Structure 1
C-alpha cells in the first residue's frame, strides 16, 4: 500500500474509489488472503481479451475441502490436468493458488476471465462436456468428494486494474 501511495498513475485513476464519501463507501470490509501459486501456473497472467472491459467477467472461485489430505488431492488434480484443460478451452486464467493463510481453510482459489457472461456460461458448458475433464474426473485417485464447498464471486475490471 505504501508503494501504491507513491504511484501517481494509480492515485489518479483510483481517486473516486479512494476518496469516496463515508456514506457511500465502495466496500463494507475487506480481508487478506495469502496464496501459494500452483506449480502449473507460477505467475499471474493478465487477460489477453480484447473486447469491451465493461462487459468482461472475472470469476473468482474458492474450493474448500473437508480435510488437508483431500485438499492436497484437489490441488494435485489441478496440477495433473485441470489447469491444462482450462488452458485448452481458453478460460483465460489469471491465477491458481493454495490458500496458506486466510478464512475457510483448507481451500484453493483461482480466477478466470471471459469476454462476457454468455461466454463464461459457454466455456463452463464446454468444460463439463470435455473428454479431458471426463477422463480426469473419473480417475480413481481423484475422489468426487475432494471439494466440500465452492464459492463463486463475479467481478469486473476497473479502469486502474492491470488484470
Structure 2
C-alpha cells in the first residue's frame, strides 16, 4: 500500500513546491518605432528601483543584437518568491504613485511600449538559477 502511495505523495510534494516556489518571469517589451531608447532610459533611471521596492528582483536585461527586433525590443527576466507573490508585486507596482508619475512623464510624447509579453518559468533541476 505504501509503495503505491509513495509516487503519488512525491508528485503532490513536487506540485506543491512548483506552485509555491521561486518563479522567474521572462518579459518582452516591444517599443513603437524610435522609442526603444526612451524605454531603456525609463528602466535604467526609474523602473528597476521601483521594481526593487515592490519585491520584483531583476535578473537581467537584454536587447537583441540582430534583425528588426534589435530596433524595438527589450527583453528581461525578473524573479519572485512565488507565483502568488508575483501577482501581489505587480499589483503594488502598478498602484505605486512614483511609478504612475514616471510612466506619465516618460510617455508625454507618446507611448513607449506597444506590446508586452510575459511568460512565467520554473528552473529545471540542472539550471544554475534556482
TM range (shorter): 0.7 to 0.9
> Gaps spanning 5+ residues in structure 1: where?
1-51
Is the aligned partner of 1:97 residue 2:81? no
* Structure 1 residue 140: Cα displacement: 5.2
Could you tell me how far apart the structure 2 residues matched to 1:144 and 1:57 are?
33
* Structure 1 residue 103: Cα displacement: 6.7
Could you tell me how far apart the structure 2 residues matched to 1:57 and 1:103 are?
30
* Structure 1 residue 79: Cα displacement: 1.1
- Which residue, out of 37, 58, 61, partners 1:72? 37
Task: Detail structure 1 runs of 4+ shifted over 3 Å in the superposition.
Answer: 102-105, 140-144
Partners of 1:60 and 1:109 within 8 A in 2: yes
**Residue in structure 1 matched with residue 81 of structure 2 by the alignment:** 115
* Structure 1 residue 99: Cα displacement: 2.2
Q: What is the total number of aligned residue pairs between the two structures?
A: 111
In the superposition, relative to structure 1, how do residues 114 and 131 fare at CA in structure 2: closer, same or farther (>3 Å)? same
Is the aligned partner of 1:88 residue 2:62? no
Answer 1 or 2: which has greater helix percent.
Answer: 2
* Structure 1 residue 153: Cα displacement: 1.1
In the superposition, relative to structure 1, how do residues 101 and 116 fare at CA in structure 2: closer, same or farther (>3 Å)? same
* Structure 1 residue 160: Cα displacement: 1.4
In the superposition, relative to structure 1, how do residues 140 and 103 fare at CA in structure 2: closer, same or farther (>3 Å)? closer
- Larger RCO (CA under 8 A, 6+ residues apart): 2
* Structure 1 residue 127: Cα displacement: 0.2
Could you tell me how far apart the structure 1 residues matched to 2:115 and 2:102 are?
20
Could you tell me how far apart the structure 1 residues matched to 2:118 and 2:111 are?
18
Could you tell me how far apart the structure 2 residues matched to 1:100 and 1:83 are?
22
In the superposition, relative to structure 1, how do residues 111 and 155 fare at CA in structure 2: closer, same or farther (>3 Å)? same
Cα RMSD, aligned residues only: 2.1
In the superposition, relative to structure 1, how do residues 118 and 146 fare at CA in structure 2: closer, same or farther (>3 Å)? same
> Gaps spanning 5+ residues in structure 2: where?
1-15
In the superposition, relative to structure 1, how do residues 144 and 57 fare at CA in structure 2: closer, same or farther (>3 Å)? farther
